[in-house]
Amino acid sequence: MISLSHVSKVFEGKRKATALEDVSLEIAKGQVVSIVGPSGSGKSTLLNLIGGLDRPTSGEIRIEGENLAELSDDDLTRVRRDKIGFVFQFFNLLPTLNCLENVALPLHLRKWPRKKIEARAKELLNLVQLDHRLEHLPDELSGGERQRVAIARALSVYPPILLADEPTGNLDTHTGQEILKLIEDLHSRLGSTILIVTHDLEVANRCFRTVSLRDGRIVEDRRR
């Protein structure tokens, strides 16, 4: 499903920073993997590379066998939109669009027919238990609700892969738990491959597999 071989990422600039160094990783279909490590260890960088938001300095990343390095920017976007859903720590909802519109955005970008879009968006908001907040703007929601909208948006196309960068980092413990339960729930329904970056060991422990990073290298890869 996802395969990284000898991936390095170096940020050139005034101060050269090596964010990832020689990372190789295989993730099979349907696995739920947590990525842990201290701040600055390269977790977000790893996720961004897998999600095709950025390109590695060296090494190879394959998503379902397709080599991301060989794709043009637009093709990369196509892979991302067909296969990958993103959940961010700071939600990244568009403030001017209401919940329904936010969830529908990726579908519109894929030029789905209107009817289908509305049905799907409602279905997903229903799934995250926000069917009573369709017309609300992100400003009018709580943090947990916003993250639920973000998850609904990420899953709107039923992506085979879900990438979540500290989805609970900005929420209190209780709400964090709920979000996590939601993700697990969705996993069991849709069977997606899920990568969660987290600081929370409890979260990590609930996952099937935990990858630990330090200074840009994998120091531990533990399966339960």
Partner 1 sequence: MMLLRLLSWPYLRRHVLRWTLTLAGIVLGVAVFVAMHTANRSIFSAFDKTIDQIAGSAQLQVSAGEFGFDESILERVQAVPEVGVAVPVIEANVETKIPGQGSILLLGIDMTGDRSLRDYELKDADDAIIDDPLVFLAQPDSVMVTKEFAERNKLEVNSRVPLLTIDGEKQFTVRGIMSSAGMTQAFGGNLAVMDIYAAQQVLGRGRRFDRIDIRAKEGITVDQCKAAVKAALGESFEVETPSARGRHFEGLLRSYSTAMTISSLFALIVGMFIIYNSFAIAVTQRRSEIGILRALGATRGQIQRLFFLESITAGFVGSALGAFAGVGMASVITTYMSTVLEQTTGFAQRVTELAIDPKLIVAGIAIGVITSIFAASIPARSAARVDPVQALQKGKYQVLSAGENRRRRRMALTVSLISVACLFLSYSKLFFYAGYVLMIVAGLLLAPALTLLLSKCLRPILKQLLPAEGTLAADSLVQAPRRTSATVSALMLSLAMVVGFGGFAHSFYTSVGEWMDNALNPDFFVSPSANLVVRAITFPASIRSVIEHVAGVDQVQLVRNARVSFRNVPVMVLAIETEKVSGTVHRMPVAGTTEEMNRLTGQGKGMMVSDSFAQIHTVRMGDIVELPTPSGLLKLPIVGIVRDYSDLQGSLLIDRSVYTKWWNDDTANVARVYVKKGEDVGVVRQRVIDALAGHHGLLVLTNREVRDWIMKLIDQWFALTYNQIAVAILVAVLGIVNTLTVSITDRRRELGVMQAVGGLRNQIRRTIWIEAFSIGVIGLVLGTALGAINLYYSLGMVKRDLGGLDLDYIFPLAFVAFMIPTILAASFIAAIGPAESAVRGSLVEALEYE
Ligand X SMILES: Nc1ncnc2c1ncn2[C@@H]1O[C@H](COP(=O)(O)OP(=O)(O)OP(=O)(O)O)[C@@H](O)[C@H]1O
Q: Give the interface with partner 1 as residue ranges (CB under 8 A).
A: 48, 51, 53-54, 73-74, 77-78, 80-82, 86, 88, 92-97, 101, 104-106, 108-110, 114, 117, 139, 153-154, 157
Count of residues near ligand X by CB under 6 A: 12
Q: Does 192 participate in binding ligand X (rule CB under 6 A)?
A: no
CA neighbor of 213 nearest in space, from 12, 38, 10: 38
Yes or no: say if 158 and 191 are a contact pair by the CB < 8 Å rule: no
Q: Which two tokens stand for residue 170?
A: 């900005």
Q: Are 127 and 139 in contact (CB under 8 A)?
A: no
| Binding characters for ligand X, 42-61, by CB under 6 A (x = yes) | xxxx----------------
Min dist. Cβ of residue 26 to partner 1 (A): 24
Sites for ligand X among residues 13-32 (CB under 6 A): 13, 17, 19
Residue 104: both structure tokens together: 């529908």
**Helix and strand numbers, DSSP H then E, in the chain:** 7, 10
| Contacted entry of partner 1, Mg ion, ligand X, none for residue 98, CB cut-off 5 to 8 Å set by kind | none
Per the DSSP assignment, residues forming a β-bridge with 209 are 33, 223
95 binds, among partner 1, Mg ion, ligand X, none (CB under 5 to 8 A by kind): partner 1
What one-character DSSP code corresponds to residue 51? T
> How far is Cα 36 from Cα 42, in angstroms, rounded to an integer?
10
Is the C-alpha dihedral spanning 8, 12, 18, 20 positive or negative?
Answer: negative
What residue ranges bind Mg ion (CB under 5 A)?
44
167 binds ligand X (CB under 6 A): no
Smallest distance from Mg ion to CB 95, Å = 22
Q: Binding ligand X by CB under 6 A: which of 39, 65, 74, 139? A: 39
Task: Decide if residue 88 touches ligand X (CB under 6 A).
Answer: no
